[in-house]
Amino acid sequence: MLPEIDRFNKWLRRRSPHASTAIHYTSDLQLFFAWAKKPPNAITLREVDAFIEHCQQAGHRIATVNRRLAALRAFYHFLEVEHDDAPPNPVIPRRHFIRQGQRLPRDVEDANLERLFAVITEPRDRAMFLLMLRCGLRVGEVRNLTLQDLYLQPTPGSLPRLWLHGKGNAHRVVYLSAQPLAALKKWLAVRPNVGDQSVFLNRFGGRLTVTGIQDRLAHYCRQAEVWITCHQFRHTFGRHLTEARVPVTSIQRLLGHAWLRTTEIYLHVSDPQVQADYEAAMKQVVQRLALDGGAA
């Protein structure tokens, strides 16, 4: 690893110790400089142009390419802070970042959820994935949960809740309904009594990693013959709330979105009012013009 990247990694960890940004950005930078075969002070916008073409030819997703560009731009910003004679930032947003249209969240069909949870019987894993599905937790938020973040015996009139260290080190509170609460209590009843305060432990008694959580989900997906990602649980939580006609501002707070427009994309996936309007309109249209003579 280049010494500049190592210092950048430590800087990111100091700024956001709970975030995974340092891991991803460091990996992206190592990949870029291994490809470029040049030191940081020899990189120009032409190398960035060529790297984008390289990534596109390799079939990388737009979001992946843009994240690597963001890592590179942040790295050179760090060098500017660290040294007065730092090289100029070679990443120019208006030139390099790739535009992408609005992507709708990919949720999971309820039938596939039933197949998956039918094979998840281990208390720890069932609790983890129900927190994602019923409370909208990100995989990193599940990993970061500690015993001090649990409020399972609230005052009368209040719901059990979790205190989360979310994306961007933002904190938020999420509530526990009966199903995830029961699963969490079942896991805590058999959780090893070790010094680590993490809620979810690996077989060595330490904090379970994001990769470990993803591997467990992949294991169950193979058994159930479905393919579901951790983040799709969160998207499905958003859809379920929308279908239950929860106000979009409440969904925003439960998901921890900074901007309402981020939450509004779930209305495009499953808006009960739009569905009702469409169904009513089609009944009228078919009455006037059935085409095949069949029923609506």
CATH number of the domain within which 81 lies: 1.10.150.130
What's the confidence (pLDDT) of residue 104?
Answer: 60
**Is residue 159 assigned to a domain?**
yes
pLDDT band at 88 (very low <50, low <70, confident <90, very high): very high
pLDDT band at 217 (very low <50, low <70, confident <90, very high): very high
- Alpha-carbon span 287 to 291, nearest angstrom: 10
**Is residue 101 assigned to a domain?**
no
Burial bucket for residue 263 (CB in 10 Å: 0-12, 13-18, 19+): buried
Q: Is the pLDDT of residue 247 over 60?
A: yes
Q: Indicate whether 247 and 139 sit together in one domain.
A: yes
* Whole-prediction pTM: 0.68
**Is residue 240 assigned to a domain?**
yes
The H-or-E segment that residue 129 falls in is helix 123-135
- Domain C-terminal end among 38, 67, 96: 96
What's the confidence (pLDDT) of residue 150?
Answer: 95
**CATH (domain of 187):** 1.10.443.10
Structural domain boundaries enclosing 146? 110-269
Q: Indicate whether 198 and 88 sit together in one domain.
A: no
Q: Indicate whether 80 and 123 sit together in one domain.
A: no
Question: Which among 62, 73, 88, 78 is positioned nearest to 32, based on CA atoms?
Answer: 73
Q: Is the pLDDT of residue 296 over 70?
A: no
Q: Indicate whether 134 and 244 sit together in one domain.
A: yes
Q: Is the pLDDT of residue 90 over 90?
A: yes
- Domain C-terminal end among 65, 96, 127: 96
Q: Indicate whether 120 and 265 sit together in one domain.
A: yes
Dihedral sign for Cα 207, 70, 265, 107, please. Answer: negative
Q: How far is CA 95 from CA 47, 49, 98, 120, 137, in A?
A: 13, 9, 8, 47, 35
Q: How far is CA 204 from CA 137, 207, 250, in A?
A: 24, 9, 39
Work out the angle at residue 204's Cα, subtended by the Cα atoms of residues 200 and 205, and round it to the nearest 5 degrees.
Answer: 45
pLDDT band at 277 (very low <50, low <70, confident <90, very high): confident
pLDDT band at 84 (very low <50, low <70, confident <90, very high): confident
Q: For 14-28, 105-119, 216-230, which range has the lowest pLDDT when averaged over its residues?
A: 14-28
- Alpha-carbon span 148 to 168, nearest angstrom: 20
Q: Indicate whether 83 and 128 sit together in one domain.
A: no
pLDDT band at 65 (very low <50, low <70, confident <90, very high): very high
Q: Indicate whether 138 and 238 sit together in one domain.
A: yes
Q: Indicate whether 118 and 234 sit together in one domain.
A: yes
**Is residue 230 assigned to a domain?**
yes
Number of domains in the chain: 2
- Which amino acid would we find at residue 207? R
Question: Which among 269, 144, 113 is positioned nearest to 207, based on CA atoms?
Answer: 144
Q: Indicate whether 176 and 46 sit together in one domain.
A: no
What's the confidence (pLDDT) of residue 269?
Answer: 67
What's the confidence (pLDDT) of residue 246?
Answer: 86
Q: Indicate whether 142 and 171 sit together in one domain.
A: yes
What's the confidence (pLDDT) of residue 20?
Answer: 78
**Is residue 282 assigned to a domain?**
no
Task: Using a pLDDT cut of 70, give the percent of the chain over it.
Answer: 94
**Is residue 184 assigned to a domain?**
yes
The answer to whether 199 touches 108, Cβ cutoff 8 Å, is no
Which DSSP category does 104 fall into? P
Cα 257 to the chain's mean position, in Å? 11
What's the confidence (pLDDT) of residue 208?
Answer: 93
- Alpha-carbon span 130 to 124, nearest angstrom: 10
Instruction: Name all contacts of 164-173 with Cβ < 8 Å and 24+ positions apart.
Output: 164/137, 164/256, 165/18, 165/141, 166/138, 166/141, 166/256, 167/19, 167/138, 167/140, 167/256, 168/16, 168/19, 168/258, 169/16, 169/18, 169/19, 170/256, 170/258, 172/253, 172/256
Question: Each residue of 2-51: pLDDT tens digit?
Answer: 999 999 999 998 888 777 788 899 999 999 999 999 999 999 999 999 99
Q: Indicate whether 154 and 215 sit together in one domain.
A: yes
**Is residue 290 assigned to a domain?**
no
- Alpha-carbon span 154 to 40, nearest angstrom: 53
Q: For 73-77, 236-240, 243-247, 256-260, which range has the lowest pLDDT when averaged over its residues?
A: 256-260
Q: Indicate whether 124 and 48 sit together in one domain.
A: no
Question: What is the Rg, in whole angstroms, of the alpha carbon atoms belonging to the chain?
Answer: 23
**Is residue 190 assigned to a domain?**
yes
